[in-house]
Amino acid sequence: MIRKLLLVVVALAGLGAVLGYGYWWSRTHADLSISVSAASRSQPLTPDPLHIVVALKDASGHVLARARSYGQYNAMTLVEPVEYSCADIELAAAATSRGLAAPTPRRPWLPCIARQSEWIPTWIRRVTTLDLQVKDCVLRDVPAVLDFSSHWLMWWFPFQHDPGGKPSTYVSLSLHVDLERCALRTFDDG
């Protein structure tokens, strides 16, 4: 009887440790995805580079981070503060994939992304507003609606849900801009 009880206690402690580790990892590591699309009545989707800049701000108006777009696909990457930016490494990788540069190893990218993923959770929940610039359209103090998701409870389950196997928190921000009105679009705008 004592042996069974001990086995149950050890199993519960092991399960608690696994779940606790997953919860801790998801609270201390995050990935941020920013998506900006721009359209107008004359041009439903703008195919050319938009030169997008997004400044994420806290309630006092202090800029916590800045992201900008690069290339024809308007891929967004964090550029400020510089010590957490992986933009140079990502641009080098993009040039490599287009055959414009010699292949670069992933080695410099991995520590940069690891540093960035540990930094994002330290400030991301304080974001309340943002400034957005798309071409000549500038919007200030727009309410920031961030979507947070984490699968820390199921991180240990043997699914192919995350190639790294770690339960990071995923934060996404999607913005849709009407370039003619220089205003954010909602899905009700038509």
In the chain, % of residues over pLDDT 70:
76
State yes or no: pLDDT of 14 exceeds 90.
no
Least confident span in 21-30, 87-96, 113-122, 155-164: 155-164
Mean of the per-residue pLDDT values of the chain:
82
Question: What confidence score (pLDDT) does residue 142 get?
Answer: 94
Collect all residues with Cβ–Cβ distance below 8 Å to 56 and sequence separation of at least 6: 63, 64, 65, 66, 67, 124, 127, 130, 144
Question: What confidence score (pLDDT) does residue 1 get?
Answer: 85
Contact, 57 vs 74, CB < 8 A? Answer: no
Question: What confidence score (pLDDT) does residue 37 get?
Answer: 84
Collect all residues with Cβ–Cβ distance below 8 Å to 87 and sequence separation of at least 6: 68, 70, 77, 78, 79
Structural domain boundaries in the chain = 2-189
Give the span between the Cα atoms of 30 and 116, in whole angstroms: 8
Question: What confidence score (pLDDT) does residue 171 get?
Answer: 92
* Mean pLDDT value of segment 113-140: 94
**pTM recorded for the entire structure:** 0.80
| Angle ∠(112,99,67) on CA atoms, nearest 5 | 35
